[in-house]
Chains A and B, each alone.
Chain A
Amino acid sequence: DVKVTQSSRYLVKRTGEKVFLECVQDMDHENMFWYRQDPGLGLRLIYFSYDVKMKEKGDIPEGYSVSREKKERFSLILESASTNQTSMYLCASSDVLSGPNEKLFFGSGTQLSVL
């Protein structure tokens, strides 16, 4: 089975802190994604990556950056956390052969609270 692992299930940080959210997938997928999930708003795409060292902005990239130094790992960085970044963060990956938007495999999420 495809496994997408997010390093933390729950995280509490203070305003202004630099926050790293880590995601690792074990299926050699080319595509990786970071979403945030907020009640009533569904999932919104923050950043995605089609290859190592490659990144593209999604719909809501402001306040975030990403890093993809290795194919299996995709990190989301909050340079200076703010309270409006309190949310559930979901990492996903997909195989380029099935199409980047066809079947996404998701991690179980990191619930981030910024105080």
Chain B
Amino acid sequence: QLQLQESGPGLVKPSETLSLTCTVSGGPISGGGQHWGWIRQPPGKGLEWIGLIYYAGNTYYNPSLKSRVTIFVDTSRNQFSLKLSSVTAADTAVYYCVQTVSGNPGNIWGQGTLVTVSS
């Protein structure tokens, strides 16, 4: 069964770049119909879709984050990653990596990782 696990720093300084990696186990990350994405939840707030990467390499991002977000896949390591630049306190959140299937952004979820933006 496919499992996802996030990893990365739990503390990032303002104006720096947040970098998280999601390791996929139980199956290959490459393959038709499998897409990968990120969703976050700031403390006390709701879920926010960040973006996704299709198996063909196309990427789509939340318009409000588009200028700061990059999602990419490393098939050799069976991982995909998120980079969010110029972070502020508003980017403090639990970040989830997800498997996305057509029309459904959160088919399988990682357990989530809290990232705090603070000096």
Q: Is chain B found bound to chain A in the same assembly?
A: no
Q: Which residues of A contact B (CB under 8 A)?
A: none
